[in-house]
Amino acid sequence: MIRDRVRRYRDEQIAWRRHLHQHPEVANEEVATTAWLRQHTERLGLVEPSHNLATGFFADLVGDQPGPLIAIRTDIDALPIHEETGLPFASKYPGKMHACGHDMHMATVLGAAHVLNDLRSQLAGTIRFLFQPAEEKPPGGARPLMAAGALDGVRMIFGLHVDPDLPTGTIGLHDGPTMASVYDFDLTIIGQAGHAARPHNATDALVTAAEVITALQTIVARDIDPTEPIVITFGEISGGTARNVIAERVSLVGTARTLSPESATQLPELIDRVVSGVTASRGANYELNEVARYPVLSNDAAVNRLLERCTTTAFGSDAVRDTRPMLGGEDFACYLERVPGAMFRLGIRNEAIGADKSWHSPMFIADEDALVVGTEVFVNAALTALDEART
């Protein structure tokens, strides 16, 4: 029985997860994490295609019978956050933390690899495991992994993300647009410095930047279909040198998000138009640079039905929740532009142990009982996908 096989690895998965949690590495620095994961896949006899990735990798579990290629992906990077959970296995690295659950993701996928390896003689096809770096830092690690051949020949892909809003023992699914497209950009407003007492002899980049921030909100209010959810946010602003000096340059770090592929196409041009108009009216200049662009994460309905069947068969109909779309971004969306697939949300909420804090919180805690749930979903989904591909 699949559940019995999954639960054999429960204690090991918890140990894996805690090791990874104690040793977080941020985007593009996941050298030790990559080496640790690679040791596990090599012990299982997984075949690693050649590539030149600095961090992250992908490896194939080749079944004893021929068949299609199915992929399972996990992200592996942590965040630049100082942990404040007080857990006995808290991060050993100040200022770095697995505050988004990627340690849970890795332990879940690694558990699925072990169980499926035990079933190698039954596999009619190949399972490719993607250990992707840099999900948290634009432009992300998905595209470099694809460029290295990670999706070559893949028929279907599965992914997961832990969700502190869903109780442990459940998963969340949503057909179609599920997570937002992301347009990350850096904007510099360029004016002319001068004395604070003589603003008429200068061009104030700070005032112009404030007008730009306000004006860009009219895109949301007036330039896009109001039925489409859109948000434009600036998370950083810096400029100026002294109290009595009119700022010459102001730098802004922004992000624009939407669930509409059409709006995602429009947003960069609209942002440029508004910035151009405001700066011109103030006699200022600007530089607008794209940092990253992720597509809308749109789950394939047929793949969702497969995940739903596998989950309800194992855990009952109450185990599957229809989750609302959100404006968070995920570069798993890049894979879904190439092949059918879906990302399910794995419930980790357990208020009794404090597992109820949002992602990216220094107090983020995950319920480790969710590990076996996610593993069983992955194993059943992979087996079902291979079996159905043969019929």
pLDDT tens string 162-176: 999 999 999 999 999
pLDDT tens string 67-117: 999 999 999 999 999 999 999 999 999 999 999 999 999 999 999 999 999
For residues 356-371, give the mean pLDDT.
Answer: 98
pLDDT band, very low/low/confident/very high, at 349 (cuts 50, 70, 90): very high
Picking from 370, 383, 367, the residue whose alpha carbon sits closest to that of residue 313 is 383
Lowest mean pLDDT among 148-152, 205-209, 228-232: 228-232
Q: Is the peptide bond before 139 cis (omega within 30 degrees of 0)?
A: yes
* Alpha carbon distance 255, 200 (integer Å): 32
pLDDT of 391 reads 61
Count other C-beta atoms under 10 Å from residue 325's C-beta: 17
Phi, psi of 260 (to 5 degrees): -100, 120
Domain with CATH 3.30.70.360 in the chain: 180-294
CB neighbour burial string for 59-97, b if at least 16 within 10 angstroms, e if fewer: bbbbbeeebbbbbbbbbbbbbebebebeeeeebeeeebb
pLDDT band, very low/low/confident/very high, at 121 (cuts 50, 70, 90): very high
* Alpha carbon distance 71, 157 (integer Å): 5
User: Domain 180-294 adopts which CATH fold?
Assistant: Alpha-Beta Plaits (3.30.70)
Whether this model's pTM surpasses 0.75: yes
Domain with CATH 3.40.630.10 in the chain: 2-174+323-390
CATH number assigned to the domain with residue range 2-174+323-390, chosen from the 4 options 3.40.250.10, 3.40.47.10, 3.30.930.10, 3.40.630.10: 3.40.630.10
For residues 240-246, give the mean pLDDT.
Answer: 96
* Alpha carbon distance 246, 149 (integer Å): 51
At which residue do the structure tokens 């558990």 appear?
111
pLDDT of 362 above 70: yes
Helix, strand, or coil here: 87? Answer: coil
* Alpha carbon distance 100, 27 (integer Å): 13
